[in-house]
Amino acid sequence: MTDTAKPGAPVPGAGADAVDRRRIRLIMTGLLLGLFMSALDQTIISAALRTIADDLNGLSEQAWANTAYMITSVITTALYGKLSDIYGRRPVYCTAVAVFVLGSVLCGLAQSMIQLAAFRGIQGIGAGGLMSLAFAILTDLVPLAERSRYQAWFGAVFGVSAVVGPVAGGFFAGLDTFMGTSGWRWAFYINVPIGVAAAVIIAAMVRTQPNRAQHKFDIAGLAALVVCLVPLLFAVEQGPKWGWGAGGTLGLFALGLVGLVLFLLAQKRAGAAALLPTPMFRNPIFSLYNGVNTLVGAAVFGALSVLPLYLQMVKGLSPTQAGLMMLPQTLGIVVAGRIAGPFVTKTGRYKVVLLTGLVLMVAATFWFGTLAAETALWQTGIAAGLMGFGIGLCWQVMLIAIQTGVAPQYMGAGMGSFTFFRQIGGTAGIAVFLSMFFGAVSDKVAASYRDAASDPAYTAALNDPSVTGQAANKVLLDARGGAVPMDNSSFLDQADPRLAKPFLHGMAEAMQIVFVVSGVMLLIALVLAAIPKEKRREPAAAPGGAKETKEPAGKK
């Protein structure tokens, strides 16, 4: 299947190449809009979800809104890559955008948390295709050695959304009404114009030539994947609440393992029609780098889910201020992409870039592991910038590394696997790391209060009835015995700083555990990434040069 022309390096004065370059830029605009819409939806909702839950009278059910989205997006990620191989990138991508926009409109109309969770599930069905198909379209569009130049912008989109999302979510949540409806509903409605623009551009500019006769669809594999992932993701999401050793949690894990066995059997039986064709995993490069991809997803998303808690709870920043503190990370992603792309394009080498990115991410996470209540914000900013630079190097070339182990006939499924395994890692990382933090925080806070007994300022506050009688300070006094309130931390705004200091110290120490574990996971990923021998590609020719980039054999 050929979705788009694959222009090589432009030759001066060649009008056709100039037209192709303009088309590439337009298609990239459409892809970036789709990615921005998907990435923004996750960050903008996180800032507004408490207001949404209060308005819909479903505070205790708010977790399901995220769970439904994660489950459907992870499952459909693998599905879209295969569908695009069968029916073409353009119609499948536009369908994904349409489903996402439909889910967004329904979410804006939701009247209960149950409805919102169901409609978020519809959103997730569309979101599963927005990233995997963006990479697949880019793969069809440009030669391998030039791809990292464009993938840098994909990474920048996620950095920008991480900053814009909390600010925009806080803005909409703070509006009582806007254009006749509750302000928070516009956190969903904003997706409509973005999605329409993305679909129009892709529909007009991407040229598809699908060959349906050569493909079959793996229905059994899809059903088995649902049986595998739904119980596992529910277990990871609900395990901290139910208890990891509870019967319900263990039962879900067992059902998920059964689904995994059924999925592997279905993939072997389906052959080339499989969602994740098993021949791809016989290539050690593909398997190892997807293992690295999963570990990096878990470590990065897990660590970055705790960092905002540090900024807001320990350092006392507002959601908007915490979002702005991530600007160094965004800058790091953008700058790294602008360096990595031309380097890989010029030299054809990607492994040194990947390993350098992983080393920087390891350094950044262990630096995060030293963050305490007294740590200056400039140190956090530098560490975040270092993390962003590492992410920008690593994720820009991770896909290229995976591509080197994918046969041309499996390219769509291979690109889908990149997003699939990263999302699997990210989803599990967020749930497990937050569970790790919440599990450690009570003991750390209690130990911190015991150590504070020798602090004269703390002792003076503890012996002052006018201080201990205040409601916020009573909550802190209860925390000395391990009763740490995690559902609502607003009491810290009114608490006496002398009594709050041990609490904040304990919180920071619990977060340090998460960051250190994240660093260890990235170290393992670094070792695995160093194993495969680099499959070198010839560098792209400079304008007017004699060299051309070689595509994988058999690529149409």
Cβ neighbours for 250, distance < 8 A, ≥ 6 positions apart = none
Q: What's the chain's average pLDDT?
A: 78
Contacts of 281 (CB under 8 A, 6+ apart): 287
Classified as helix, coil or strand, 182 is: strand
CA dihedral 318, 320, 326, 327 (to 10 degrees): -140
- Please report where in the chains the tokens 């470590």 appear, as a residue: 299
Look up residue 257 and give its two tokens.
């393992």
CA–CA distance, 500 with 113 (Å, rounded to integer): 34
Confidence class for position 100, pLDDT limits 50, 70, 90: very high
Q: How confident is residue 237, by pLDDT bands cut at 50, 70 and 90? A: low
Predicted pLDDT of residue 421: 84
pLDDT at 307 (0 to 100):
84
Q: CB 387: neighbour CB atoms within 10 A?
A: 27
CATH class for the region spanning 1-216: mainly alpha
Amino acid identity for residue 395 in this structure = W
Instruction: Please determine, for residue 359, whether its predicted confidence score (pLDDT) is greater than 90.
Output: yes
pLDDT band, residue 548 (cuts 50/70/90)? very low
The answer to whether the CB of 353 falls within 8 A of the CB of 176 is: no
Per residue in 21-73, pLDDT (tens digit) is: 788 888 888 888 988 888 787 767 766 766 777 677 765 555 567 667 877 88
Percent of the chain with pLDDT over 90: 16
Report pLDDT digits (tens) over 427-441: 777 777 877 887 788
Half-sphere exposure of 246 (CA within 13 A, CB side): 12
- Look up residue 431 and give its amino acid: A
Round to whole Å and give the CA distance between 137 and 1.
12
Cβ 203 vs Cβ 181: under 8 Å:
no
Gap between the Cα atoms of 93 and 199, Å rounded: 8
Give the total residue count for the chain.
556
Q: Of the segments 9-18, 172-181, 501-510, 531-540, which one has the largest average pLDDT value?
A: 501-510
pLDDT for the residue 148:
63
Q: CA 420 to CA 257: how far, in whole Å?
A: 18
Give tens-digit pLDDT for 446-480: 888 888 888 888 888 888 787 777 777 777 777 77
- Return the HEC string of 122-161: HHHHHHHHHHHHHHHHHHHHCCHHHHHHHHHHHHHHHHHH
* DSSP notation for 267-279: HHHHGGGSSS-HH
Give the span between the Cα atoms of 344 and 350, in whole angstroms. Answer: 6
Answer yes or no: are the C-beta atoms of 354 and 391 closer than 8 Å: no
* pLDDT on residue 405: 75
- Using the structure block, give the residue that is written with the tokens 């059903």: 223
In this prediction, residue 7 carries a pLDDT of 36
What pLDDT sits at residue 513? 92
List the beta bridge partners of residue 239.
Answer: none
Dihedral of the CA atoms 385, 386, 387, 392 (nearest 10)?
A: 90
**Cα 375 vs. chain centroid, distance in angstroms?**
27
Residue 539 has pLDDT above 60, yes or no: no
Using the predicted structure, report yes or no on whether residue 6 has a pLDDT greater than 70.
Answer: no
CA–CA distance, 152 with 154 (Å, rounded to integer): 5
pTM of the complete model: 0.74
The residue ranking higher by pLDDT, 414 or 33, is 33
Q: Which residue has the tokens 């490069």?
A: 285
Please return the burial class of 471, using the count of CB atoms within 10 Å of its CB with bins 0-12, 13-18 and 19+. exposed
HSE, side-chain direction, 13 A CA sphere, residue 402: 32
pLDDT at 509 > cutoff 70: yes
pLDDT tens digit sequence for 204-228? 887 755 555 455 677 888 888 888 8
Give me the mean pLDDT over the 509-525 stretch.
Answer: 93
Give the H or E element holding residue 521. helix 497-530
Q: Which of 112-126, 264-278, 313-327, 328-342 has the lowest mean pLDDT?
A: 313-327
pLDDT at 479: 74
Beta-bridge partners for 109: none
Which structure tokens are listed for 376? Answer: 């200056």
- Render 213-225 in DSSP notation, one character per residue: GG----HHHHHHH
Domain coordinates in residue numbering, the chain: 1-216, 219-274, 444-509
Quick one: which of 134, 124, 153 has its CA closest to 65?
124
* More confident of the two residues 163 and 104: 104
Cβ count near 206 (within 10 Å): 23
Tokens in use for 341? 């792309």
* Helix ranges (DSSP H) in 310-410: 319-324, 327-347, 351-368, 377-403
- 416 versus 251: the higher-pLDDT residue is 251
How far apart are the C-alpha atoms of 203 and 206, rounded to whole Å?
6
Lowest-pLDDT range of 10-14, 280-284, 325-329, 485-489:
10-14
